[in-house]
Structure 1
């Protein structure tokens, strides 16, 4: 059983315009920067601040320590729409219900936005009571419910009612498999405003009217790949999809590729087995610049024939070229190992969190991993990489030699790369051994960052720096900031590279040395003084 709350009076039922203009604003006491703002604009600012999902930080409207103007306080306290947006359940765990009742009174008849993680009975009862008594005006649900027991089926009966105000539904329930909701009755097939549906494990009828109007959907088991593609084909308004671990692959990739055109699709997230994800991606035609996050954690179904590998590489090439053609990469991370391939677009800070992104990180069967790495690298060269400024490399031992020409050609295509970060010095010798008649790898490189947990060889670094000087492309900065000082050893030989800056960190302090201006004694680190 859960607690019941009395329906409280709704004194704030005035129209939006009345709510905006009923409180006089004393501009004489307001901060100068917003002294001329009218009530309508102020109200919109407060409303955005009350949005629990807001991306932008709209704070800082007044100086810390100063009491906000009384007019602001009155405007906020008198706006049911603002109160309706701040039902963050984590803050409603008081022993007595006075605060919960007061907040609900202040919401009037405004739409409600519910958010939070429920871990205690008091907030659990409050949430379930809101479902029962206020379902008709709930606009957003973003709730995780953690419990050690199973609810009776009638607790979820509000979900079977029409949802006239519901725009976003995101409900996580630890015992979701116990929900026996008839799949054809969710929302009574009537949720005209619903745009986002994230509810793993809650059964629903894929033919419901509200499904076709969604902008985002999260799907997982028990749907199979053919079922998912059939659902997606009818969802022409989709802008993002999230397909999670547990989706059944439904057999091998076949020649019968479904054509699922989703012209508005801007983001795809796949967390599943490799072959399952490839089957889905192979059929989807998204919008230009569509982002992709493809993550597989298991090699269980990663064993492929050569034909399947070719098709997998084709899928990667199509999505990577489609994304990078619209969002030319400036910062990338590339990982090559004997069991995996990964590439990340390291987004610039000015990109909004809602912007498309690209991450392809898959586990590969050991028997074909290096061949797959070579083919994936080759396909990557079809993407525009001339704007790339920073590359982070995570390489297994001998990865460069094994990937051979494909990797070296990739380095030659990065004409604008200025900063290279690597976790291994094994990368350096193959680059130095390239014939002089070949184009130089990373022709614009000026900064080498070494991030390693093993002892650094001054010999390999010196060899690479000498080769760059010989090519008339000298390194200007050697950055060892994220390598342990105890592993740097004796780097005094590097003092001969006049003008190059060496950076490191010691006892949480940043240090820099300009080569050639001293004897190089500052480059002798730790107990490796005799290691030259």
Structure 2
């Protein structure tokens, strides 16, 4: 039984507690949100509802008289017990059901088929089904496949949200399962389905795609067929593909140009074949308010052929088509020996991003890493004339990254720069090679993620002095009182060398970014810089 605690007779032990004064409809809405919010995914909504019903008689009465609360909190981790199912399911009345199932076949005494028996019994009422099957056994998965298809091959009259995850730990026994001959997902009858994410290949002719809002691709889908199918997906708002689902069209084939104004987010993770995604994006037009996130993961041990690099270059050049970078005022640029990542905030508050993972060329004899060619191509094709705020992180695994000065010509308008001392080293290398260069001419504030260590002092001095010598000093230096040197040992750093840059305001922040103290170079007591504590907590 789940009602083992006697509720208190009063709404709360303290009658003046704010929550005790809430109108009943507002209080009910709080309980309702607890069954739907992200918090519920961390702590079971069912467990939270049981706990709330034990607080007092008023809360218990309200919760127990609300079938729609119990129906949204069905968790198989608890419902695998028959006594709990027998007690709680009647409380759901005729309300539509939200069910979360973590199924571990052959791991528990209760056989896996009891899950499917339960789901079959209530299938017509299921509104949301989150089904996760973690397959531990080396035994055949045929029975599990049969039970699964007997369930999801049936018409789903109430299903709005379907999420299926399957993980086989010991064997590659054909998971994810292919659609058995003669079977169709939901019998092609899911009249209210809005969201689907599963490892099962969908039929692009399924009628329920006409009202789908959130679609995750899987399987093998020819890009020309998917573009054609998009025409009928008039309600689609979110499109995801992290499975390399699209396959290339013959280059001689004429692909249709598709305009899709309802899409507001596209997330693509490309792990091998880039070409179908170049074909897809080059033939797609979307709303300016749509967010595009593209990641190319090319971490194979084998070197990419030139064709792959050329296609990646094409993909990069398509990015401005979906994000008006000419108006972007904030951006994040991250670069190291295996990763290039860029994201920009457009004026309509839409954030779009591009990420490329690949092992770059080995360091040179001087110990430097070279950036990939498309890094500069990306900036060339994506002008940023109005950029004011830039987070620039370069953290190579081996040696310093070698930058082309031209890369920084595209971010001349930056006024606030968040970066690291290693990036300052890269910049000063360029300045030392050409003293006529002016890097970030509009810079007003420099934010460092950590305090400069002894090895960083020469490059920091050089950078600050170069700004002063050309008459372009910035006003504020903000530093977090942390260190990239690991360890929690309490220590201090000597920053008295900063005092020579008269008028520079130095702001020290805690590791969380809270402002702690302020120092004006040449005016404040220099002793304050002698022992600045490092705190990596």
Normalized against structure 2, the TM-score is what? 0.74
Count of residues in Structure 1 that have an aligned counterpart in Structure 2: 479
Partner secondary structure for residue 372 of structure 2: helix
Aligned to 2:172: none
**CA shift for structure 1 position 362:** 1.4
Q: Determine which of 218, 241, 244 is the counterpart of 1:243.
A: 241
- Judge conservation of contact 2:132–2:164 (CA < 8 Å) in 1: yes
Q: Determine which of 499, 506, 514 is the counterpart of 1:495.
A: 499
Question: 2-side partners of 1:178 and 1:475: how far apart?
Answer: 61
Question: 1-side partners of 2:147 and 2:184: how far apart?
Answer: 15
Aligned to 1:17: none
Partner secondary structure for residue 342 of structure 1: strand
Matching of residues 236-315 of structure 1 within 5 Å: 236-247=234-245, 249-250=247-248, 256-272=254-270, 273=272, 274-298=274-298, 303-304=306-307, 308=311, 311-315=314-318
- Judge conservation of contact 1:224–1:248 (CA < 8 Å) in 2: yes
**CA shift for structure 1 position 76:** 0.8
Question: 1-side partners of 2:66 and 2:206: how far apart?
Answer: 35
The answer on 1:99 being equivalent to 2:97 is no
Aligned to 1:448: 447
Per-residue CA deviation, residues 114-170 of structure 1 (Å, 9 max, x unaligned), is: 124334534955532222110000000112111234152441212122111100110
Question: 1-side partners of 2:193 and 2:430: how far apart?
Answer: 55
Q: Determine which of 321, 335, 344 is the counterpart of 1:318.
A: 321
Which has a greater percent of strand? 2
Aligned to 2:68: 81
Which ranges of structure 2 fall in alignment gaps of 5 or more residues? 1-9, 46-50, 169-174, 362-369
Q: Cα RMSD (Å) of the superposition?
A: 4.4
Question: 2-side partners of 1:462 and 1:412: how far apart?
Answer: 22
Aligned to 2:354: 360
Task: Compare 390-399 and 160-169 and name the one that shifted more.
Answer: 390-399
Normalized against structure 1, the TM-score is what? 0.75
Partner secondary structure for residue 172 of structure 1: strand
- Judge conservation of contact 1:30–1:69 (CA < 8 Å) in 2: no
**CA shift for structure 1 position 464:** 1.1
- Judge conservation of contact 1:381–1:413 (CA < 8 Å) in 2: no
The answer on 1:389 being equivalent to 2:376 is no
Aligned to 1:167: 160
Q: Kindly tell me: are residues 306 and 163 of structure 1, through their superposed partners in 2, closer, same or farther at Cα, counting changes over 3 Å?
A: closer
Question: 2-side partners of 1:316 and 1:509: how far apart?
Answer: 35
Question: 2-side partners of 1:138 and 1:193: how far apart?
Answer: 11
Partner secondary structure for residue 355 of structure 2: strand
**CA shift for structure 1 position 419:** 4.0
Matching of residues 398-417 of structure 1 within 5 Å: 399=401, 401-402=403-404, 404-405=405-406, 407-414=407-414, 416-417=415-416
Partner secondary structure for residue 457 of structure 1: helix
Q: Determine which of 136, 145, 150 is the counterpart of 1:148.
A: 136
**CA shift for structure 1 position 400:** 5.7
- Judge conservation of contact 1:425–1:460 (CA < 8 Å) in 2: yes
- Judge conservation of contact 1:302–1:364 (CA < 8 Å) in 2: no
